[in-house]
Amino acid sequence: MKLVLLGAPGAGKGTQAALLKKEIGLDHISTGDLFRHNLKNSTPLGLEAKKYMDAGQLVPDEIVMNMVSEKLADAENTEGFMLDGFPRTVAQAEFLDSKINLDGVVLFNISDEEIVTRLMDRAVCRSCGSVTQFSSHEKCPDCGGELYRRDDDNEQTIRSRLKVFHEQTEPLIDFYRTKNLLLEVQATGKPEEIFARVLSLLNHDKN
């Protein structure tokens, strides 16, 4: 199964990808994680991407497509995969279209205000990468690791990222609707409730 997870930053794509990986073994390819990994290792790619990430802007298409090409080639040999945070522009979607045939695009629907509240509370584990909330945990509930706030999870950058989403990524909704690939899920509520909706959309209901 080859899926795209589509939605605004903070819509829960990463959280649902982690659950899907556990449940049906799909590989999780997150362009944001790939950039953060490069940044942690101070690679030229990571340092270049940081300029855009800190401003809440998109990294230029060419850089993203170069990075993703390699991953897509590797992923072709797996059971299936989910792309999280890619594509984010029509040019990226057309590029992806030229490389693979998708089985579906899961769209996570949620309001901007709910996203701002969520992201201001988002905590990431430094050890295992799990995502949780500062309001409910002091340490990572999965491994006990230290929690940190992503540099781009501040209100000003969150608002820029939302603006970029509406202007540059939202056109992909029609792009995929026209191709009959769009599967819409309401992304409010607890992660496990959203997960049940996702599984049902994918005809993968538990029991």
Q: How many residues bind ligand AMP (CB under 6 A)?
A: 18
Q: According to the binding rule CB under 6 A, does residue 165 interact with ligand AMP?
A: no
Does 86 engage in binding with ligand AMP (CB under 6 A)? yes
- Whole-Å CA distances, 21 to 16, 48, 134: 8, 30, 24
Which of the following is catalytic: 2, 36, 50, 88? 88
Quote the least distance from Cβ 135 to ligand AMP, whole Å: 20
Task: Please tell me whether residue 12 binds ligand AMP under the rule CB under 6 A.
Answer: no
Q: Which stretch binds ligand AMP (CB under 6 A): 29-37, 115-123, 124-132, 177-185?
A: 29-37
Is the previous residue joined to 87 through a cis bond, with omega within 30 degrees of 0?
yes
Q: Please tell me whether residue 59 binds ligand AMP under the rule CB under 6 A.
A: yes
For the record, the structure tokens of 38 come out as: 């490069």
User: Which residue out of 2, 13, 36, 50 is catalytically annotated?
Assistant: 13
Residue with Cβ nearer ligand AMP (16 or 31): 31
Q: Which residues pair with 183 in a beta bridge?
A: 106
Active site includes 150?
yes
Residue with the shortest CB distance to ligand AMP: 32
CB of 31 to ligand AMP, least distance (A): 3
**E strand segments, 2-110:** 2-7, 27-30, 81-84, 104-109
**31 part of the interface to ligand AMP, by CB under 6 A:** yes
| Contact status: 161 vs ligand AMP (CB under 6 A) | yes
CB 181 within 8 A of CB 168: no
88 is an active site residue: yes
Active site residue 36: no
Q: How far is the CB of 169 from ligand AMP (least distance, A)?
A: 9
Return the amino acid letter for 115.
I
The CA distance from 40 to 78, in Å, is: 27
What count of Cα atoms within 13 Å lies in the side-chain half-sphere of residue 184?
9
Residues 155, 47: Cα–Cα separation, whole Å: 23
Q: Does 9 bind ligand AMP (CB under 6 A)?
A: yes
d(CA 150, CA 152): 5
State the catalytic residues.
Answer: 13, 88, 122, 150, 161
